[in-house]
Structure 1
């Protein structure tokens, strides 16, 4: 199973005053760079989804792509484009504002998928009844974090149809496609995100 990764940095960052969130500095480095440092040991190919400042993101030496859909239509728009341009079977997506993301994110998110594939392949008689899992996402036990997700490229058509219908809700799409929430309750702090410039400047970090 070939897996690539995409850092989602295509939002408007309204709560940060409209700045490009992934390029904001935390501990002297852009948020997107912190995310890449946590991802690079987990997956060989990492790209950035950015709708602004693509040249600046490209300076990190990573492939950069914008949403196919115009007007900042949310993370699912970036996910759709990421799936369409992927050369892998699955794509691991993470938001750009979580510099402490789990170092075992991929390992845990892929476990239900691998188990379902093994069962699907070994039980051909019930294969039609037990389809393999194509989508998983993280939960910290209290909150769900759907932008931390592992998604099969086989879902491109379904996601295209969903967005064309005018829907943008991530969890709704996931639940319609038999997703599995993976427990990261032992790493709640890993999902700490930064929504304001004051958050980034806090000395608590």
Structure 2
């Protein structure tokens, strides 16, 4: 399979941060979103940003901006579908998604997802994380998604599906496990308190 394309999911409304593009908030001398871009870019063949509203506000990033194709913010799967439609236009086989508010995700996310998908009938896998010996929690915004299943996903969304794992379980998705050693690699910024914690973590990583 060709190296997947990357899609950063920034289509949420950030209500707990007071709205706006929380990925643009400052973190460690840059922005949260730029940290995500810098981690994902070396792992994929190309990237796009899934975001709704005026795409001109992201012009400085020099990335394609793809909006949800379904109305009323139906959740991250709508961003996945938008990414798959974009990837199909590029002739790609699959995409890897990453959330725009999760600046410390693993630098080996893509190779681990590819390995996890090998036992699945499709290149489909979700990341999962947890503490050593503890329960693993799936990370539904960090996944490998096959272009071949985009019409199946579109039909599921149009029928009202919103929960990611219901759809991925239906298709026997693999699971890439990331055991925490220190910080949670999938720590995401949802609240002002989270932002302060992210800034503390970023300071320790410098």
TM-score computed with the length of structure 1 as normaliser: 0.86
Aligned to 2:204: none
Backbone CA RMSD of aligned residues: 1.6
Aligned to 1:20: 21
Aligned to 2:112: 108
Query: Aligned pair count?
Result: 190
Structure 1 residue runs of 5 or longer lacking an equivalent are 117-130
Mapped to 2, the partners of 1:22 and 1:14 lie a distance apart of: 13
1:49-64 equivalence runs, <5 A: 49-64=50-65
Aligned to 1:9: 10
Mapped to 2, the partners of 1:5 and 1:198 lie a distance apart of: 29
Aligned to 2:123: 134
Shift of 1:186: 4.2
Secondary structure in structure 2 of the residue aligned to 1:36: helix
Secondary structure in structure 2 of the residue aligned to 1:51: coil
1:9-88 equivalence runs, <5 A: 9-86=10-87, 87=90, 88=92
Per-residue deviation, residues 67-86 of structure 1 (Å, max 9, x unmatched): 11122111100110110110
Structure 2 residue runs of 5 or longer lacking an equivalent are 131-135, 202-206
Mapped to 1, the partners of 2:48 and 2:35 lie a distance apart of: 14
Give every structure 1 segment of 4 or more consecutive aligned residues whose post-TM-superposition deviation is greater than 3 Å. Answer: none
Aligned to 1:90: 94
Shift of 1:161: 1.0
